[in-house]
Amino acid sequence: MSLYLHDSITPDVIKEAAAAGITGVKVYPQGVTTNSAAGVTSLEDFYPVFEAMQEHDMVLNLHGEVPDVDVMNAEEAFLPTLKSINERFPKLRIVLEHCTTSAAVETVRSCGPTVAATITAHHLYLTVDDTVDPLAFCKPIAKTPADRDALIRAICSGDSKFFLGTDSAPHQKSAKDQPKPAAGVFTQPYATQYVLLALEDATERGIIQESAVTQERLEGFLSRSGRRFYKLPEPEPGKVILERKGETIERSIKNEDGSVEVALSRGGAEIFSLRWA
């Protein structure tokens, strides 16, 4: 469980939260994404909170965009702030959430070992040209093909600084089928398969070699690296079995009485079938 950074969060609150088992605090700059109206306007005001988080070994989760900067450059404009926080609080564990750019990948690599980043499944295959489709519109927005390919290479490098964070956002189909669609891509039912589909696409485009997609690297990105960064216990042994059975991504999912319908990205695409063993 995480807290939402707000004026009510103080060093004393951090101390109490850590004692209660809260793992981190999520930072939303005000107005940059869905449900961020109560977000922060100045990170410097929260330096005492960050100091307390460092002391109590909590994780700072950053939505890394600068308000009032165009959507294609808002993340890159935030990266000096990430560097500054890391330099000021070198023992504070920081996650740059849902990074989307080559610049973000390089910045995270250049930071100390306490800085990591999540990458979503959908940013591994979407680019800005796709966002004319309401089902591909999300925040942070998908960037250029070169940025997408940098994310692909990052997860295939085996670098434990990068791990999956789905940022899956289910919205009613009616909320996506309008001139100003709700921001968010729904991937959770097929998160692993979306990642594999993106890697297959990248292999076909020659961005990576098939030999780069190893079981060890996939396990690291999908599971182990994030768990270890958060210092979570090792789970009971288990396996995911992936098989080609002609399964396709559903175009939408409805609840039992049909009153709620959520559309999925890449509906109709053929994927691996997945089961736990």
Is residue 277 in a domain? no
pLDDT per position as a tens digit, 65-79: 998 899 999 999 999
pTM of the model: 0.94
Could you tell me if residue 232 is inside a domain? yes
| Domain membership flag for residue 187 | yes
The Cα–Cα gap between 256 and 271 comes to: 25
Sign of CA dihedral 10, 13, 18, 24: negative
Residue 258 lies in a domain: no
Q: Is residue 260 part of a domain?
A: no
Closest CA to 174 of 95, 111, 252, 119: 252
C-alpha–C-alpha distance, residues 65 and 29, integer Å = 7
Q: Strands, E, within 54-203: which ranges?
A: 59-63, 93-97, 115-119, 162-164
Distance, in Å, from the CA atom of 102 to the CA atom of 148, rounded to the nearest integer, reads: 8
Name the domain count of the chain.
Answer: 1
- For 214-273, the pLDDT digits (tens) are 999 999 999 999 999 999 998 888 899 999 999 999 999 999 999 999 999 999 999 999
Residues 20-45 pLDDT 10s: 999 999 998 865 555 545 457 789 99
The domain that contains 184 carries what CATH number?
A: 3.20.20.140
Distance CA 54, CA 47 (A): 10
Whether residue 146 lies inside any domain: the answer is yes
The percentage of the chain sitting over the pLDDT mark of 90, rounded to a whole number, equals: 90
| Residue 207 resides in a domain | yes
Domain interval for residue 190: 2-237
Determine the 3-state secondary structure of 117 from DSSP: strand
Within-domain flag for 242: no
Give the number of other CB atoms < 10 A from CB of residue 90.
13
Q: Three-state secondary structure along 15-43?
A: HHHHHCCCCEEEECECCCCCCCCCCECCC
